Structure 1
Amino acid sequence: MAALHPQCGGASSTARRVRCRAASRTIAAAAATATSTACSPVEAAAPAPRRAPARRSTAATVAGMWRQVQGCNDWEGLIDPVAGEVHPVLRAEVARYGDLVSPCYKAFDLDPSSRRHLNCKYGRERMLDEVGMPGAGYVITRYIYAAADVTFPTMEPSTAGRGRWIGYVAVSTDDMTRRLGRRDVLVSFRGTVTPAEWVANLMSSLEPARFDPCDPRPDVKVESGFLSLYTSADKTCRFGGAGSCREQLLREVSRLVDACGKDRPGEDVSVTLAGHSMGSALALLFAYDLAELGLNQHGLNRDASGCRVPVTVFSYGGPRVGNSAFKDRCDELGVKVLRVANVRDPVTMLPGAILNEGTKGFLAGWGATGDCYTHVGVELALDFLSLRDPGSVHDLGAYVASVKAEACGKVPNAAEDGGILAMAMELVGGQSAAASAWKEIAALQMGGLVQSLGF
């Protein structure tokens, strides 16, 4: 049974945890004049002071407050940690972006006999229609592939080093752009499905990201398995997935943002990265990469107000990605992350089961050394559980259903409403959602133990 989190506690130094309650309650919303005011680069980089609660306007729209929805003020005024309420416009956008991740599972071809094995079942032009989202409001411009640099004894030689379809890049249509108040460049990532990705989850040792060759920052470290998926190149170049996931993303997103600046001068632009589970880790790595390289700051990438193009991550059931230096650097660069996390989902607590932001001080007191995994961003906590399907605590469908149910005061049954992970894993070998989810959890847990022990 799904429920709302009864008590989330106070805010920590690394993330704010809030509770979701029925949207019919009053929310501490931004003042009406603030919803139409763009955030300056300085505002985007610095935390905003706590604003006095104000009754939400019934006329509030995403177009009128899109910068706040994208986190320019760290969602202050849209999320009330005291009353546990979320602005309905933000809630709707969180659900919408979650829905836009689901095609990455629904369209993934896991049939070994198919010529599109490990690719998307459909062409870009009709993929959203085929998965039941004809009115999504986005045009897909490129599919993205990731290849884990891992092998194991049972892996077929034909699949070693091959890129797997991991997600897509899209840009909002003119109609959706008018509704959103800006041109939105979207990157959507799925979570772990293939055996190579399970193995990559075991590689939880921390290593320097080193994305900027001019300023490698060796202290900024991320999980090696996620880094491998992000930076390893496809050795087969099948389906046009040339280069690493990173190279594909940098080329396409830079192209789209530059094109928006040239073809539509004065139009506001945003870059939104949405991912589930492992996909949320890739989304965060890409957001950090964009910000570290300054690709969200150069001349053509400034909107009508002269602000930087905002880069925002909507994470669903995401694990920890890097150490405290990584978190601090993301904050310094103004990377905005809204972490939608089920408090019963163990994946959100990994890796770093022992060495994490909560135990760092305690371990330091005992003279323990080593890097501690640390979450990035603002946490929006949900609480749902189905006794019939325990694995659904990590299911994307259950996450989205829970967010949507809050808008109408209902409590979803995760076993009925969240079946995306179960569907994907049935294609692998008839595994239930519970078996597949706990497989990922076990991999992350074992990797976290290896990291903690220093092996």
Structure 2
Amino acid sequence: MPNLLVLLPLLLLPLTTHSYSEDEAIRNVHIAGMSYCSTDQISSGDNNHYKSLDGSFSVGQVWSNSSLQFVTGYDGSENALTLAVRGSEDIDNWLDNLDIIKTSPYDDDSSVEVHKGFWEEYTTLRDDMISYLLTEAGKHSTTKLKLTGHSSGAANAMLLAYDVARGQAIGLEDFQVSALYTFGEPRVGNTAFADSVISLEIPHTRVVHYRDIVPHVPPHLMGFHHSPQEIWYDSEDSSHYVECSETDGEDSACSKSEWYFTASDHCTYIDLAICSAGC
């Protein structure tokens, strides 16, 4: 008869809630990558990312200023509205200027802290992101949202997903995040934030390419903590990936196991150019 004391830890392990689809991730690389293209390239469909998507995807609107940009759309394959947020155009300068200051912006839980700079950037975009998504919702019968982004754009996508899941995105109270795909996402908040993302059951797939430095800032030692689930491509050519812990975003067997990180791995994801060079 099996020893119950031996089996008990196994019984307490969380059940797998989803499995990783590389095809779906590639689709989202293209949706996220499109946000780096010029407004003319996006609106006309004259860019490599749009051309790589099938006819079930349609572009909605483009919002852009001198430093930020996002694109809405509709993915008919999932009957979901999409939003892709562009990351920094100059990753070296972005890394040089990144600080470790946190803020506690959530009145209902002061233990939850997020990076102050990410929060400030997000709040400059939030109302427009919601407004543009509502415009897109008027064209399609769905309340599903698929959010994506690369680099600092991934942080913006995460913060919007968090507000939607908490019912705090004014205008999107009846909407649900059906998928959150982030690529090269920096650490957005503290452990309490990561735990809250888990408790809200936000379906987060966080892809990391090999030794990309951005997912390792701001430093874990400074109180920042990733939320799961990391999917780590553990080679330069993206020929193999590891499905990391579904309960801990800081899985020591995944990208944290590396000792050397580089910005040169930041603009290629699943063997596709995701920054402006990919357009």
The TM-score by the shorter chain falls in which range? 0.7 to 0.9
Partner of 1:321: 188
In the alignment, the residues of structure 1 paired with residue 144 and residue 167 of structure 2 have an alpha-carbon distance, to the nearest angstrom, of: 17
**Cα deviation digits, residues 241-294 of structure 1 (max 9, x gap):** xxx31110122224444664xxx4xxx652111111111111101101112235
222, 233, 236: which is aligned to 1:382?
Answer: 233
| C-alpha deviation, 1:94, in angstroms | 0.5
Look up the SS of the partner of 1:217 in the other structure: coil
CA drift of 1:123 comes to 6.2
Please state how far the C-alpha of 1:143 moved relative to its aligned partner.
Answer: 1.6
Q: Which residue of 2 aligns with 1:400?
A: 270
SS at match of 1:219: coil
Residues 32-111 of structure 1 correspond to what in structure 2 (within 5 A)?
50=15, 73=17, 75=18, 78-79=19-20, 90-105=21-36, 107-108=37-38
Q: Tell me which residue corresponds to 1:133.
A: 50
Paired residues of 1:223 and 1:322 also in contact (CA < 8 A): yes
Among 71, 87, 110, which residue is 1:168 paired with?
A: 71
| 1:185 lines up with 2:36 in the alignment | no
SS in 1 for 2:121: helix
Distance of aligned partners of 1:297 and 1:188 in 2 relative to their CA distance in 1, 3 Å threshold: closer
> Equivalents in 1 of 2:41, 2:133: separation in Å?
22
- Amino acid in structure 1 at the alignment position of 2:201: G
Q: Please identify which structure carries the higher strand content.
A: 2
Alignment of structure 1 residues 7-22 onto 2, 5 Å:
none
| Identical residues among aligned pairs (%) | 22
1:247 is matched with 127
How far apart are the structure 1 equivalents of 2:217 and 2:108? 26
* Aligned pairs for 1:414-433 within 5 A: 418=273, 420-421=274-275, 423=277
Structure 1 gap ranges (5+): 1-46, 52-72, 80-89, 109-119, 146-161, 232-243, 302-308, 356-371, 402-416, 425-455
CA shift in 2, pair 1:298/1:348, >3 Å: closer
- 5 Å-filtered alignment, 1:290-309, equals 290-294=164-168, 298=173, 301=175, 309=176
Deviation at 1:313, TM superposition (A): 1.2
- Counterpart CA distance in 1 for 2:13 and 2:234 is 28
Q: Structure 2 unaligned segments of length 5 or more: list them.
A: 1-11, 238-261
Deviation at 1:317, TM superposition (A): 1.2
CA contact (8 A) 2:187 2:224 kept: yes
CA 1:201–1:226 in structure 2 vs 1: closer, same or farther (change >3 Å)? farther
Contact 1:200 1:228 (8 Å CA) reproduced = no
Match of residue 230 from structure 1:
122
Tell me, yes or no, if the aligned pair for 1:167 and 1:187 is still in contact at 8 Å.
yes
Larger radius of gyration: 1
CA offsets per residue over residues 34-56 of structure 1, 9 Å max, x none? xxxxxxxxxxxxx99537xxxxx
1:375 Cα shift?
A: 0.3
Deviation, 1:202, is 1.8
Q: RMSD between aligned alpha carbons?
A: 3.2
Q: Is the 8 A contact 1:167 1:190 kept in 2?
A: yes
Q: Aligned pair in 2 of structure 1 residues 229, 199: CA closer, same or farther (>3 Å)?
A: farther
Query: Which residue is 2:61 aligned to?
Result: 142
| Mapped partners of 1:96, 1:320: distance in 2 | 23
Q: Give the drift of 1:391.
A: 4.2
Shift of residue 298, structure 1, vs aligned partner: 4.7
Structure 1 residue 92 displacement after superposition: 0.3
> Do 2:205 and 2:231's aligned partners in 1 also have CA atoms closer than 8 Å?
yes
SS at 1:246 equivalent: helix
Q: Which residue matches 1:358? A: none
**Structure 1 residues 66-125: Cα deviation after superposition (integer angstroms, max 9, x where no partner):** xxxxxxx2x2xx25xxxxxxxxxx1100111101122222x23xxxxxxxxxxx24463x
Instruction: Give the match's secondary structure for 2:221.
Output: coil
Taking structure 1 as the reference length, the TM-score comes to: 0.47
The answer as to whether partners of 1:185 and 1:272 remain within 8 angstroms in 2 is yes
Match of 2:217 in 1: 350
Match of 1:340 in 2: 207
How many aligned residue pairs are there? Answer: 240
| Match 2:152 to one of 251, 263, 278 | 278
